[in-house]
Structure 1
Amino acid sequence: MSFHIPTIDITPYRENGTDAERAEVARQIDASCRSVGFMQIVGHGIPDEITNGLTEAMDAFFAMDLDAKKAYRTPPHINRGYSPPKSESLSLSLGVEQASRMNDFFEAFNVGAGAADYPHVDDLPQPAYAENVWPEVDGFEQQVQAYFAEAAKVARTMTRIFADALGVAPDYFAPRTDHSLDVLRMNNYALPSGTDVTLDGDLIGMGEHTDYGIVTILWADQVKGLQVLDNKGNWHDAAPADDALLINLGDVTAHLTNEQWMSTLHRVKPPVIDGTIERRRSAAFFHDGNVEYVIETLPQFVDDEHPEIYEPVTVAEHIQAKLGGSRAGVRNESAVREGARVLASRY
């Protein structure tokens, strides 16, 4: 049987669909979450001009000189600003150590929801809710903020669908995400001049990893490179259809469902053509939940055949361990299950 990432139209959840139409969308989401953990959605409602503005902003920033971009770099514990090539290793977020510890060649720029975005909540912890660092690029802040707002709407539509698919109250996620740790990571897979990277068979654009939170909304261009691991240990190429967004589950969702919904392992290995890397761009919106949210498995997913896998943990504790691996180079010893899947995969 060939590997297939389903395409699902979520319009009924955005435009007052009938109960039957919404139930069918929830059924398709549930089936995809159980079988693949990745899907692509259409009918998401993000206008083309907003997406085009995002890509213009990304292109303008990443075209800057490497030293100029490094002026917007932040310490590893602050998930904002610029990450240059070979400053991260996503596989370490799973406790899997590659030959070179910090070897992912992608560059990225991160923005997120800061404390000022949630005026209804007092004393949000820093640096989890840090304010953003904005580069001096014409239109960048406005264009990125416009897309961030639209992606946040899509993320909350997805959690509303998840609630129906999981059989919980429609507003289950609302109090757990009303000051969510939301981050937009804009990625560029290309080698700036002066970057020391050897083009060989082991080159990693972004190492094997699962996403950390509830759901990820991914815009990507259609250049090959993204690969998804199936439940038999095989890697498959994944690229969005026209006007589609890729959706994948994060660790929080896998924890909630006792891994009956999977947080799918993925990586990026853009093709090397004529000795150079074909440029690839993506922008991932991570919707992770409130920092103090205690992630506990839903009781309907625990029975004699499915004993509980995870201990309760807060979103803050979970993400701190993950970021400590990917950005600070500290091997995450708590991701035993995911790391075993990577090591068993067929490269």
Structure 2
Amino acid sequence: MNKIPSVDLTDFISEDPKRKQKFIDEIGKAYEEIGFVALKGHFLSEELIKDLYQAIKEFFNQPQEIKDQYEIPGIGGQRGYTSFGKEHAKGRKEGDLKEFWHFGQYVENNPRLEAEYPDNVIVKEVPEFNKAGKETYKKLEKTAKYVLRALALHLGLEENYFDKFITNGNSILRPIHYPPIKEEPKAAVRAAAHGDINLITLLMGAQGKGLQVQNHEGQWIDAIAQEDELMINVGDMLSRLTNNKLKSTIHQVVNPPRELWNTSRYSIPFFMHPVSDMPLNVLDNCVDQEHPKLYEDITAGEFLHQRLIELGLIKV
């Protein structure tokens, strides 16, 4: 496969069984073959996207000493600011050429999880930042819920199988700033080749060149969404749960051509995580003689902790 398929969520949420099945078949096929789709018909408005981009640009343009006040020690970067070059891909030493922010879950009716998750960090200097962040988080979480319902049906599960695991899940909205490149990077890129940790990732801001996806032949394909599309990919948790039936695809953000080094790039992924006690045990109906069980039983929380250590965000 050498291009990213496009699907329309309005097919799935229509009252028309044929359109709904068409969406299930299209997204199921794409996730088995390449692990990425471009999705139209999501719940984000143009106005909200514009407001959030404006607010994140304003935040990342703040003086470094102001941004540094929002870097919270001891929580593995789960909330607030993470400074330039701190995170690296699994198996690499070079830090990625980016700085980023994390918005986390807005817990409802669950004191236990409220105590478990770190608090969201409030930016005083940019009042719109937290408001637009929270609203975007909710709209992307709603979009992700319907995508997972379609995937549940594709996998032969009950439609709402994932609902109880993603309600108040440990999901993260991550506005990323890739600053202008000032000198020849030795071995670093804006985001080195990696697979995502979570169930699915919804990416805003994949309109320009930079994001690349590796197909099964090992070729790198440019993943460019239309203005009204989100790029959505399978993460390692969902791949593990389905015994690799749904593919968590390696992807990267490459450095731009030298003539564009003086430009910033912004992107905003939403990492859909379940609650930490969700079992990621391989589904029975994804195991047979031709597809033996590939993974040991583990919970989502244990898996996340392992991966944050590998990424250098939790020190042991």
Name the TM-score, length of structure 2 as normaliser. 0.93
1:296 shift after superposition: 1.4
Tell me how far apart the structure 2 counterparts of residues 7 and 45 of structure 1 sit (CA, whole Å): 16
Q: Hey, what does 1:118 align to over in structure 2?
A: 108
Task: Give the letter for the 2:48 counterpart.
Answer: I
Q: Secondary structure at the match of 1:309?
A: coil
- Describe the SS at the equivalent of 1:181: coil
Structure 2 CA distance for aligned equivalents of residues 68 and 102 of structure 1: 25
The answer as to 2:45 corresponding to 1:47 is yes
Contact 2:94 2:188 in 1 (8 A): no
1:189 aligns with 2:178: yes
Partners of 2:313 and 2:44 lie apart in 1 by: 34
Alignment of 1:125-140 (within 5 A): 129-136=117-124, 137-140=126-129
Residue of 278, 300, 304 corresponding to 1:315: 300
Note closer, same or farther for the CA distance 1:31–1:201 as it changes in structure 2 (3 Å cut): farther
Counterpart secondary structure, 2:270: strand
**Residue 234 of structure 1, aligned match among 201, 208, 219:** 219
52-61 or 270-279: bigger deviation:
270-279
Q: Does 1:260 align with 2:253?
A: no
Aligned to 2:154: 165
Deviation, structure 1 residue 198:
3.7
Paired residues in the alignment total 314
In the alignment, residue 108 of structure 2 is paired with which amino acid? Y
Cα drift, residue 329 of structure 1 = 6.7
Change (3 A) 1:259 1:163: same
8 A contact 1:270–1:280 mirrored in 2: no
Name the CA distance, whole Å, in 1 between partners of 2:9 and 2:208: 25
**Which structure shows the bigger proportion of residues in strand conformation?**
1
Which of residues 63, 66, 82 in structure 2 aligns to 1:65? 63
Tell me which residue corresponds to 2:131: 142
C-alpha change, 1:146 and 1:103, in structure 2 (3 Å) is same
Match of 1:245 in 2: 230
Q: Sequence identity, in percent?
A: 27
* Secondary structure, counterpart of 1:282 in structure 2: strand
Task: Encode CA deviations 1:142-172: one digit per residue, 9 max, x unaligned.
Answer: 1111111111110111111111111110111
Tell me the CA shift for residue 78 of structure 1.
4.3
In structure 2, the residue matched to 1:11 is 10
1:272 and 1:84 map into 2 onto residues whose CA distance is: 24
The question of whether the paired residues in 2 share the 8 Å contact of 1:217 and 1:286 is answered with: yes
Residue 36 of structure 1 aligns with which residue? 34
Q: Distance in 2 between matches of 1:328 and 1:9?
A: 35
Q: CA deviation at 1:238?
A: 1.2
Equivalent residues of 2:242, 2:286 under 8 A apart: yes
Deviation of 1:267 after TM superposition, in Å, equals 1.2
Structure 1, 198-207 or 161-170: larger mean CA deviation: 198-207
Gaps of 5+ in 1: 332-347
Cα pair distance change 1:43/1:275, threshold 3 Å: closer
Q: Kindly indicate whether the alpha-carbon contact (under 8 Å) linking 2:12 and 2:24 is maintained by their aligned counterparts in 1.
A: no
Shift of 1:280: 1.3
Are 1:103 and 2:95 matched, yes or no?
A: yes
SS of 1:68 mapped into structure 2: helix
C-alpha change, 1:313 and 1:63, in structure 2 (3 Å) is same
How far residue 64 of structure 1 moved from its aligned partner, in angstroms, is: 1.0
In the alignment, is the contact (CA less than 8 A) between 1:7 and 1:41 conserved in 2? Answer: yes
Aligned CA RMSD, in angstroms, stands at 2.0
Q: Is the 8 A contact 2:12 2:21 kept in 1?
A: no
Q: Please tell me the residue identity of whatever aligns with 1:131.
A: D
Amino acid at match of 2:6: T
Distance 2:315 2:218 in 1: 26
Deviates more, 1:269-278 or 1:29-38: 269-278
Whole-angstrom distance in 2 between the partners of 1:86 and 1:78 = 13
Paired residue type of 1:107? E
Which amino acid in the other structure matches residue 83 of structure 2?
P
8 A contact 2:201–2:269 mirrored in 1: yes
Q: Deviations over 1:191-228 (max 9, x none)?
A: 49xxxx64247331112211111111110152321111
Q: What secondary structure, in the 3-state scheme, does the structure 2 residue paired with 1:49 have? A: helix
Cα deviation 1:256-295 (Å, max 9, x = unaligned): 2110110111111130433724321111111111110111
